[in-house]
Amino acid sequence: MNKYLDINPEVKEAIENGRPVVALESTIISHGMPYPQNVETALNVEKIIRENGAVPATIAIIGGRLKAGLTPEEIEYFGKKGPEITKASRRDLAMLCAKGEDGACTVTTTMMIANMAGIKVFATGGIGGVHRGAETTMDISADLEELAQTQVMVICAGCKSILDIGLTLEYLETHGVPVIGMGTEDMPAFYTSKSGFKVDYKVDSPAELAHFFKTHIELGLKGGILVGNPIPDEYSMDPEVINPAIDKAIEECNSLGIKGKATTPFLLAKVKEITGGDSLESNIRLVYNNAKVAALTASELCK
C-alpha cells in the first residue's frame, strides 16, 4: 500500500471483505457550494450511498495524507475551511504530501486515490473537459487524461455545461474512453438531461453497467469508463434559462482574464448568481441521483 495513504477503517474492512464501496470527491465540499450547505450535502450523499447498500469513501488530502474515507468531523473541517484549501490535481499531489498540506480532490485525484485504495466506482457531479475556446487556450481538464489511464468507473451527470461538450467527447474517443449513457443515448449536460451529442453505448440498469465494467477489467483494458446519468426531469433546468446564464458567465470570465483551475469555480458561482440559486439546487439533486446509481452499480459489481 502507498505509504502516504490512509484508508478509513470502515472502508478498509469493506474492501477486504468484498463489499461495495463508492468513492466521492472533496472539491464539491470545499469549492462547490457555501458552508454549511456543503457539509449538509456531503453527509446526505454518504447517507444515500449507505441506504443503497454501499460504503461511502469521501476522498481528500489532509495534512499531507491521502485519505480514502473521511469522518464527519473531517468533512466539517473541509466545509468550514472551504476555498482556502488547495484544489488538487495530479500535478499537486507530491508537493502537498511533501509539505504536509491539505488538498481538495478533483475528479482526477479522486480517481487516483480511489485506485490506490482498490475502489473501482466513483460518483461525482460532472466531469471537467475541453473548455470553450480551447483551440486557442489549450484549456483541457486533467480529468480526461485520468480517465484514459486509471481504471475507475466515473458516474456523473455528464460534462459541465460550461464546457464544449462535443470537443470533450471527441477527446475521450481519441483516448479510448467508453462513454456510457444510463438509460439514454444522449450525453447529459449537467443541468439538463440532453446535450444533443450521442454517447457510445446505452445501458438500462446498474446490473448491465456493472457487467460492462467487469468485462472491461477482465480484458485488462487501460483506463476507466465514463457514465452519463441524466439529472432527474423534475430538477432539470429549462435550456432557455440555463444556456444564456452560462453564456453570460463565460463572457464575464473571459473579460476578467480568469484562467486555469479558477475557471470552473468562478463560472459555477456566476451561473448560480444569475439563476438566483436554482442552478445550485439542480447541482445538489444530480449529485444525489449519481450517488444512488453508483451505490447500486458497486453492489452489482461485487456480486
| 160 among known catalytic residues | yes
Q: Which entry of 67, 87, 120, 160 is annotated as an active-site residue?
A: 160
Supply the Cα-derived Rg of the chain in whole angstroms. Answer: 18
User: Which residues, 6 or more positions from 28, have their beta carbon under 8 angstroms from its beta carbon?
Assistant: 38, 41, 42, 124, 125, 287
Residues facing residue 228 across a β-bridge: 156, 181
| Catalytic residue of the set 12, 25, 87, 272 | 25
* Residues in CB range of 99: below 8 A, 6 or more apart: 64
- Beta-carbon neighbour count of residue 303 at 10 Å? 10
148-168 burial by CB neighbour count: b if 16+ within 10 A, else e? bebbbbbbbbbbbbbbbbebb
DSSP 3-state of 180:
strand
The string over 189-225, giving b where at least 16 C-beta atoms fall within 10 Å of a residue's C-beta and e elsewhere, is bbbbbebebebbeebeebebbbebbeebeeeeeebbb
Whether 240 is catalytic: no
Contact present, 282 and 241 (Cβ < 8 Å): no
What span, in angstroms and rounded, lies between the C-alpha atoms of 92 and 170? 27
The whole-angstrom separation of Cα 263 and Cα 265 is 6
Going by C-alpha positions, the residue among 113, 141, 114 that lies closest to residue 129 is 141
Burial (CB count <10 Å: 0-12, 13-18, 19+), residue 18? exposed
Contact present, 180 and 212 (Cβ < 8 Å) = yes
Active site residues: 25, 160
